[in-house]
Amino acid sequence: MLDRVRAACRTRHMSLRTERAYVAWIKRFVHFHDLRHPATMGTAEIRAFLTYLAVERQVAASTQNQALSALLFLYRHVLEQDLGDIGEVGGKKGVGSVFMGMTSPSLPRGGVVDN
């Protein structure tokens, strides 16, 4: 399957760095779901992975966007599966906006602490 991802990237003249990043995100997604084939998964598993990245790994919104882009590419162009409406994975400002708003009760709104 990863060879098909690489071939689809090259057919679309994507940069080698993008290809490598997409393959890496797809590998992480598959490993996160105990090596299940992506064809057997869908939007719920994508949301679970993105939530894990945001909450447990605390990655930046741009990182979440890159992971989402890789997974959307996989499903649309490699597996040729329609995911339907993924819904509000991240809100109006992108994937990370909803997760970025999640703060500890001890922190002020937005999670910014003035020193």
Other beta carbons within 10 angstroms of residue 9's beta carbon come to: 21
What domains can be seen in the chain, in order of their start residue? 2-84 (1.10.150.130)
Residue with tokens 């679309």: 12
State which amino acid sits at residue 115: N
Position 84 scores a pLDDT of 74
pLDDT of 8 strictly over 70: yes
Model pLDDT for residues 47-93, shown as the tens digit of each residue? 999 999 999 999 999 999 999 999 999 998 898 888 877 765 543 34
Tokens in use for 68?
Answer: 């989402």
CA dist., res. 19 & res. 41, Å (int): 22
CA dist., res. 108 & res. 27, Å (int): 36
pTM (two decimals)? 0.73
